[in-house]
Amino acid sequence: MPEPEAHGAARQVDVAIVGGGLVGASLALALAGTARSVLLIEGVAPDSSAQPSFDERTTALGNASRRIFQRLGVWDELAREAAPIRTIHISEAGRFGSARLRAVEQGVEAFGHVIPNRVIGAALWRALQRAGGVTLRVPARVTAVKTDNDGASLTVLDATGAQEVIEARLLVAADGAESLVRTAAGIAAEVEDYAQVAITAAVSTDRPHDGTAYERFTPAGPVAVLPLHGGGYGTVWACAPQRASELLALDEADYLAALQERFGWRVGRFVKVGRRASYPLRLSRAAETVGPRTVLVGNAAQGLHPIAGQGFNLGLRDAALLAESIAGAQGDPGAGQLLRAYAEARAADRTGVVRFTDSLVKLFASSLPGASLVRNLGLVLFDLSPPAKRALARVSLGFGGPAPRLARDLPLT
Ligand SMILES: Cc1cc2nc3c(=O)[nH]c(=O)nc-3n(C[C@H](O)[C@H](O)[C@H](O)COP(=O)(O)OP(=O)(O)OC[C@H]3O[C@@H](n4cnc5c(N)ncnc54)[C@H](O)[C@@H]3O)c2cc1C
């Protein structure tokens, strides 16, 4: 990868994006060809092993996200390392109900694609460097922010210790769930700890996969087993924090045995596991997604449990609609009216995805009498009911509100 630019000319810009993770880098790329001057500030180099967004995780990308990436010109590169999800299998440990959804029965080729995060990150940053038009500050951190009705002012500290002040007409917080920009803008976030930790790891099995993604609910948390390009699976195992510490301390053989015991034998024998990483799981929800001269996107606006693989897909739709609003507007990109219209247009999708994900976590974690029966009957009925299956298939396409133009395979403006 070419060296990211460390310094450029921008002191006053139309749009400053803080955070060049999955969502911020996607937004910057969407704005790269527009007339707006754009600055992207990211604290960790995209090819660094410490990059928190482009790490060893895999992301299940829905079809709307695929179309957005096609329009951004990165899909061909991603497709080379993407595994299509042709079937989704949902079950509950120790119970009779299970459901199987086949893409072909829903009239789509695949429900989505599983791609390693580092592949997405590398493709986005390469495309940003190719496209030009966006000034990149990386590695550099935003350390302070001031906003008022006229504009935003940011203090940026680079790796050499040099400090710079930048003025922007619009400040975008794409700096993740612990967003400094959100705090500086005085926007509160409601945080609910699920008391679960997700352990992620790539695993190999003794037989090839057939493009099925598995979601297995267990009383302690769900286990997702997602097919990978080239064979094997990406696994996400959510469990209680204490159990997660024990699992992380196990050697390879004992970890594989524990995973096998939890997940069962549907994909054959687990024979090898890659590096394990862990993520505490919580729901964080900003009280507002816009403030004076400020807009929050991706995890800075809402951080979700990965149970339904929706966090990045939702954040990418934030980025696509924001890019469309900025590119389509005449004049000031940080005008209050533009930001309010953006927030209103995103509200239904955001609320729908947050509620859907949170209810799924709680339904399957519930030990209330009867809850298990409801879940099992739900899965059996679901398996028999074409409308219910169609409703779930739509989940991967976005939840209401106007779909961004890029997601509909239209140009940005
Ligand atoms: C285990 C797990 C599995 C998941 N699987 C899926 C899935 O299958 N499908 C899906 O859609 N979603 C999934 N998600 C959710 C998805 O990973 C997140 O929604 C996504 O990472 C959000 O991206 P982001 O760019 O908003 O934030 P982040 O990924 O948190 O990136 C924020 C970026 O901002 C930078 N930054 C922070 N502060 C500053 C600062 N002050 N100055 C400069 N830079 C800064 C950071 O270095 C980072 O690069 C999963 C999440 C987890 C935990």
User: What whole-number distance in Å separates Cα of residue 335 and Cα of residue 350?
Assistant: 22
Residue carrying structure tokens 């590119």: 327
- CB of 267 closer than 8 Å to CB of 185: no
- Please check whether residue 346 lies inside any domain of the structure: yes
141 in contact with ligand 1, CB cutoff 6 A: yes
Residue 299 lies in a domain: yes
Q: Is 216 left (phi over 0), alpha (psi -120 to 50) or beta?
A: beta
Structural domain includes residue 41: yes
What's the total number of domains in the chain?
1
Q: Is the CB of 196 under 6 A from ligand 1?
A: no
- List pLDDT tens digits, range 166-217: 999 999 999 999 999 999 999 999 999 999 999 999 999 999 999 999 999 8
In a domain, residue 175? The reply is yes
- Determine the Cα–Cα distance for residues 115 and 95; give it in Å rounded to an integer: 31
DSSP strands (E only) in 188-253: 189-205, 212-217, 223-227, 233-239
Amino acid (one-letter) located at 366: S
pLDDT in tens, 372-404: 656 665 555 555 556 655 566 555 556 677 899
Residue 191: exposure state from Cβ atoms within 10 A (0-12, 13-18, ≥19) = exposed
Helix (H/G/I), strand (E/B), else coil: 302: strand
Residue 391 lies in a domain: no
Domain that holds residue 159: 12-82+114-190+283-369+401-408
293 DSSP 8-state letter: T
CB 59 within 8 Å of CB 120: yes
Residue at 181 is within a domain = yes
Choose between 364 and 220: higher pLDDT.
220
Is the Cβ atom of 234 under 6 angstroms away from ligand 1? no
Is 253 part of a structural domain of the chain? no
* Residues pairing with 146 in the sheet: 153
Residue 337 lies in a domain: yes
CATH number of domain containing 75: 3.50.50.60
Q: At 116, is the secondary structure helix, strand, or coil? A: strand
- Whether residue 318 has its Cβ less than 6 Å from ligand 1: no
pTM of the full structure: 0.94
Output the six-digit token pair for 163. Answer: 């400090």
Tracing tokens 């994006």 back to the chain, one arrives at 17
Quick one: average pLDDT of 238-255? 97
Ligand 1 neighbour 112 (Cβ under 6 A)? no
Calculate helix-pair angle for 22-31, 117-131, nearest 10 degrees. Answer: 30
Per DSSP, the three-state class of 157 is: strand
For the stretch 133-145, pLDDT in tens is 899 999 999 999 9
CA–centroid distance, 218 to ligand 1, in Å, is 26
Residues 68 and 315 sit within 8 Å (Cβ to Cβ): no
